[in-house]
Structure 1
């Protein structure tokens, strides 16, 4: 007898039933181990249900969803590819190229490598008259800002764009050029978490609003700029949370909120100079989350943005935006994440925490009085600790690294000061390359027994750009000791089972030469004191700070060889 799948009904499981099965699957581990803390100190639960969401938010859920949707002007976004060029000719050629291939907003980061002559400014003015733009400058004195003097007066009212500057630029005759920016990108690049970025955006908005008598006039000139990192759902929630916070902010000023543009760019904070094509995946992930979150303008940085761009990398970056916009269908719906139990819960958490932090900063007297730099430094140090211990994965850099990967020596000044989390590993590789260390793995026993630890050690070394020589599995203590006595290596790691390691290590410690640093793969707390007293350097194990450990090894090898 055949059954029609459409007629089958599956019994829905309650949270308690799911929890009971989860506890069984954990085999003795506590249920609480399924809960994780974010860097914003928000607890992520293993399962979100309609019931738990309604219990948490109640009537606020509907208000949250309707606020986000009412403060989103369009489901789509504007493709804003940054224009680069070594000289004016290539710069304008790249503008033409990008506009003909899907770019919708001329995006300029100042300063540029050429002079803004009258000819160049006149040419740029023509483009600004016909296309929207985003210009980032370091001061009101930047020469590129003189472009507005070259735009025909009859066209100025129709000119649309954004200017990002440390202080708001005052432009007359340009009602559709927004110059009041809450720019959280510099704080993001220093390591700020999502809650801090949201609170900072409100603090900056409050400062700018105080400068204008008319709040509505301010709102018409205002926009917010975020960098979007690789934490996909967190970044979706961040952009959504800003819209809820904006409504609360405008209410505090006694006004009804209107949609303000959310300008986004992909973050390079997680970019690495190693395995650079992984940066392409990161940027794609970031752009997609920005689109789902409701960003109005998205700039995708090329995967080689840290070093030197190529025409291919620029085209790929532009196509990331175009595929997201044209092929993913995500822009067919306003707020596609709306109603997601997890994202709605996370959005509400961000709103609550960011509003509280905003009030604390305001009460303290502003960002500097509050000591925001020190607070962000704490978060950055946590990020570094997580990546150095692999609690946070950075594919191709701290895990699954390619030891023979070579990097470009070029340096893009635009991103040189970003506190990237890959930097400690890039410095580690440079340190090892300079040291010229010769490591080896002493394998003992059957292949199936020592292979997991040997592979782990090779992966550990790969993060430093090193491929260690690996022996075949020795079958006797005598053979292993003989090899170690004659080994021409600076640093040797023993890879074997716990029992085999305990059996052979006393003999190996007696056999090793004084100028060889010996480590063991694994944790041996009971034997640690005795072994280190007899000449063992230390241990390599999961959860260890890789950068600290390997830099210590370089130092130790230099010491014993002097």
Structure 2
């Protein structure tokens, strides 16, 4: 049913359509002279401009559509090393609403040190227990030994008497992704192409339809890739597979049909939606350049590992919800939501159920699947999609231009260090944003909870041994790291917890000046900051007396606190009136004195009075917390 024309809504005639200039004029009044660009214009990690307002857009050219409209697949990972428990969890996932299983064998990066240990058809049969292979979609997470695992699965299909052509299996071969993750590849690229084509031919000969090869963006995202870098890497990987398979004698159209994509759904809704839409448009462009009529690629999306936190892991539920929503709106064909406890160990049944239900609510209650490409026509999404197409293509061309040791493209970019250098630059930028809290992490760097309740996992996070060098590797590269953004703050919290276990929690005394109304803002800021490093910083009722601060009571409060650091917290007026006197009183009581806020013109006088550091918005919080924790733990009695 089409929308009614304006004439059918006479009450709308009472409202004039505002012009952009009118809106801009109203905004300027609110800004009161502040810079429009700095206040209201954002930038993505790729430098793409995000305006506060966009007009409606009419999509030009091809639409980024899926092969078939309808529900996306709800994926759950099978990764438990014990076959019986893996079978139980898989069956529970399927009975609870999942309709796709990702098989993560030991050694796969996605298994996080766990993974299936099946080495025979009998083992795999037990691992998949009562799973009806003809009723679910299966995909293999890329791992070393992918050929052996794929053939095990094929043999299991034969053992159970299924028609391979009636099954939906993505075999997930991604030797380039494994090279990037592990740092070595056993064979040369030409030999790799021959092996890959031979294995695909063998599987097709047995009746399997594929896809067989995965261009996986997760290894790049975990190493710090921006949206455009991930897109460029996935495109370059897929094109490399096209070349290898064609060189091995496979028709180009068949090679194209053998490829699927895996992309990361992160916590930024706009960039995630635009990234998935851009991936389809970019792949269409590659197909056209190859002389092929474009066909939609199957895209599996997984929520971001690097966004997960070990501290206050319940916040991961929100992260997973935003990411899954974005992947659904962006047009993913299947989605895997990482359970909220995944960073702590192997998730239990409850965490897996919540991960499934996140998608089921979006499917069954929000009905996201009922609209094909819901972002179409939105000025903001269309502009961002187009910008990511341009940026992703530029990154793809940059990787394609690389050469090393007779190789070209993405493998050459890994071999000569070009890819690693680009990712390292982005990691450094993002690490600085995390350290200064310009990129806040709720529950970790912002609003930490020192009394958080523990959560349950089936197995604790394993200590993964360092990768072993392959003695006969034909290609060696610097392996890409896997990182989570919260790790630096989590390390500080762990250090504070060790100190707490040996006695009492390290603490900072908040030396509040003036009445509660005056010091609350900065005391709250300071408490939030120190607790992000695991240091207690309780806020009391203050030390106000007759319109001023009782400095003797303040100094006595510090002595009784047992803290080593005293952080002054008050309004600018209180700092001007009492800051120097309060600092002297605290110094006489033996405190190392910090101040919450910027010192302004008083800095020299405040430092002379004994203040050693200032904590304020935009500062390097990680460095400040390291200093505070070192002072606190070193001087404990």
- Contact residue 74 and residue 334 of structure 1 kept, 8 A: yes
Match among 432, 440, 444 for residue 513 of structure 2: 444
Q: Does 1:430 align with 2:494?
A: yes
- Ranges in structure 2 where 5+ consecutive residues have no aligned partner: 1-8, 107-114, 176-195, 404-408, 466-480, 500-504
Structure 1: distance between partners of 2:89 and 2:555:
64
Match among 229, 237, 261 for residue 196 of structure 1: 229
Per-residue deviation, 1:529: 3.1
Match among 66, 69, 78 for residue 73 of structure 2: 78
Q: Which residue is equivalent to 2:212?
A: 179
- Cα gap change, 1:520 to 1:193, in 2 (>3 Å): same
Secondary structure, aligned partner of 2:544 = coil
Q: Which residue is equivalent to 2:556?
A: 483
Q: Which residue is equivalent to 2:105?
A: 110
Structure 1: distance between partners of 2:173 and 2:278:
24
Q: Which residue is equivalent to 1:160?
A: 168
1:428-461 residue CA offsets vs partner (Å, 9 max, x unmatched): 2123334553311111211111111111111112
- Cα gap change, 1:485 to 1:278, in 2 (>3 Å): closer
- Cα gap change, 1:174 to 1:286, in 2 (>3 Å): farther
Q: Does 1:234 align with 2:290?
A: no
Q: Which residue is equivalent to 1:311?
A: 349
1:350-405 residue CA offsets vs partner (Å, 9 max, x unmatched): 00111112112111232324611121122122222222222122211111221222
Secondary structure, aligned partner of 1:432 = helix
Match among 129, 141, 144 for residue 139 of structure 1: 144
Q: Does 1:68 align with 2:64?
A: yes
**Segment drifting more, 531-540 vs 261-270:** 531-540
Structure 2: distance between partners of 1:98 and 1:548:
43
Per-residue deviation, 1:142: 7.1
- Cα gap change, 1:249 to 1:473, in 2 (>3 Å): same
Per-residue deviation, 1:481: 6.0
- Cα gap change, 1:415 to 1:329, in 2 (>3 Å): farther
Match among 562, 574, 581 for residue 507 of structure 1: 581
Q: Which residue is equivalent to 1:536?
A: 611
Secondary structure, aligned partner of 1:235 = helix
- Contact residue 81 and residue 98 of structure 1 kept, 8 A: yes
Q: Which residue is equivalent to 2:27?
A: 22
Secondary structure, aligned partner of 1:211 = helix
- Ranges in structure 1 where 5+ consecutive residues have no aligned partner: 55-60
1:228-247 residue CA offsets vs partner (Å, 9 max, x unmatched): 10000110000000111011
- Cα gap change, 1:165 to 1:154, in 2 (>3 Å): closer
Query: Which aligned pairs between 1:29-428 and structure 2 lie closer than 5 A?
Result: 29-33=34-38, 34-50=40-56, 61-63=59-61, 66-69=62-65, 72-111=67-106, 112=115, 114-123=117-126, 124=128, 127-140=132-145, 144-145=149-150, 146-152=152-158, 155-167=163-175, 170=200, 171-172=202-203, 173-213=206-246, 214-307=251-344, 308-365=346-403, 366=409, 367-368=413-414, 369=416, 371-405=418-452, 411-413=460-462, 418-428=482-492
Structure 2: distance between partners of 1:105 and 1:261:
14
- Contact residue 76 and residue 291 of structure 1 kept, 8 A: no
Per-residue deviation, 1:6: 3.6
Match among 589, 592, 603 for residue 517 of structure 1: 592
- Contact residue 75 and residue 332 of structure 1 kept, 8 A: yes
Structure 2: distance between partners of 1:480 and 1:5:
69
Structure 2: distance between partners of 1:154 and 1:110:
22
Q: Does 1:454 align with 2:523?
A: yes
- Contact residue 82 and residue 108 of structure 1 kept, 8 A: yes
Q: Does 1:473 align with 2:543?
A: yes
1:311-348 residue CA offsets vs partner (Å, 9 max, x unmatched): 11111111112122222121112111111110000000
**Segment drifting more, 522-531 vs 212-221:** 522-531
- Contact residue 292 and residue 337 of structure 1 kept, 8 A: yes
1:479-508 residue CA offsets vs partner (Å, 9 max, x unmatched): 356437845421101112223223333333
- Contact residue 224 and residue 261 of structure 1 kept, 8 A: yes
Structure 1: distance between partners of 2:450 and 2:52:
36
The size of the alignment, in residue pairs, is 548
- Cα gap change, 1:177 to 1:236, in 2 (>3 Å): same
Per-residue deviation, 1:130: 4.7
- Contact residue 506 and residue 534 of structure 2 kept, 8 A: no
- Cα gap change, 1:359 to 1:474, in 2 (>3 Å): same
Secondary structure, aligned partner of 2:401 = helix
1:286-330 residue CA offsets vs partner (Å, 9 max, x unmatched): 111111100001111111111241211111111112122222121
Structure 1: distance between partners of 2:138 and 2:104:
11
**Segment drifting more, 368-377 vs 472-481:** 472-481
- Contact residue 361 and residue 370 of structure 1 kept, 8 A: no
Over the residues paired in the alignment, what is the CA RMSD in angstroms?
2.7
Structure 1: distance between partners of 2:558 and 2:526:
22
1:82-111 residue CA offsets vs partner (Å, 9 max, x unmatched): 124352112222222222222111221111
Per-residue deviation, 1:519: 0.6
Structure 1: distance between partners of 2:379 and 2:463:
38
Structure 1: distance between partners of 2:102 and 2:463:
14
